[in-house]
Amino acid sequence: MFKTIADPADCEVRSVIRFLNAKNANPAEIHRQLVEIYGENVMADGMFRKWVRQFNDGRINVHDEARSGRSFVVNDGLVAKVNEKIRENSRFTIRMLCDEFPQISKTVLHEIVTNRLNYRKLCSR
């Protein structure tokens, strides 16, 4: 009996798929070996087939591709502007800040206030 590996990194599992695929193992055998070592929930069957197909088509990278989307970087200037608005009105809410900064999402504002500026709720009503 083999020792099972809990919570493997995605790239680790993909590396094993790529290795066994290069050895010309059939997909059913690759999947059986993955389940044997990593457990039943190692990877969904459709995702497994997708990776085997991509490696057969010549893919060599086992890491995720960069995803498109709106990237947002919290910079020191933005943190300073949020801090300035908070100091103007110490009885602020995240919703009030959303009205002041409509281009920034509520979750990003919450992250700035709690993690970067270390403000906490002082009292409840």
Residue 96 lies in a domain: yes
Residue 48 lies in a domain: yes
Residue 100 lies in a domain: yes
Give the side-chain half-sphere CA count within 13 A for 123. 3
Assign residue 45 the CATH number of its domain. 1.10.10
pLDDT for 89 equals: 87
pLDDT at 124 over 80: no
Based on the fold, state whether residues 50 and 80 are members of the same structural domain.
no
What is the rounded CA–CA span in Å between residue 102 and residue 27? Answer: 50
pLDDT for 57 equals: 95
| CB neighbour class for 28 (10 Å; exposed up to 12, middle 13-18, buried from 19) | exposed
pLDDT for 103 equals: 86
Based on the fold, state whether residues 53 and 80 are members of the same structural domain.
no
Residue 41 lies in a domain: yes
pLDDT for 1 equals: 64
Based on the fold, state whether residues 16 and 45 are members of the same structural domain.
yes
**Which runs of consecutive H residues, i.e. helices, occur in 1-125?**
10-22, 27-38, 45-56, 76-88, 94-100, 106-111
Q: What is the pLDDT of residues 73-111, one digit of tens each?
A: 788 888 999 999 999 988 888 899 999 888 888 988 998
What is the rounded CA–CA span in Å between residue 65 and residue 16? Answer: 18
Residue 3 lies in a domain: no
What is the rounded CA–CA span in Å between residue 72 and residue 67? Answer: 13
Based on the fold, state whether residues 83 and 46 are members of the same structural domain.
no
Hey, what amino acid is at 80?
A
Domain that holds residue 22: 10-57
Does the pTM of the predicted model rise above 0.85? no
Residue 53 lies in a domain: yes
Give the total number of structural domains in the chain.
2
Based on the fold, state whether residues 50 and 85 are members of the same structural domain.
no
Residue 49 lies in a domain: yes
Residue 25 lies in a domain: yes
Higher per-residue confidence, 79 vs 124: 79
User: For residues 38 and 4, is the Cβ–Cβ distance under 8 A?
Assistant: yes
Average pLDDT of span 14-18: 96
User: For residues 17 and 52, is the Cβ–Cβ distance under 8 A?
Assistant: yes
Give me the percent of the chain exceeding a pLDDT of 90: 50
Q: Pick from 26-30, 67-71, 88-92 the range whose average pLDDT is largest.
A: 26-30
pLDDT for 125 equals: 58
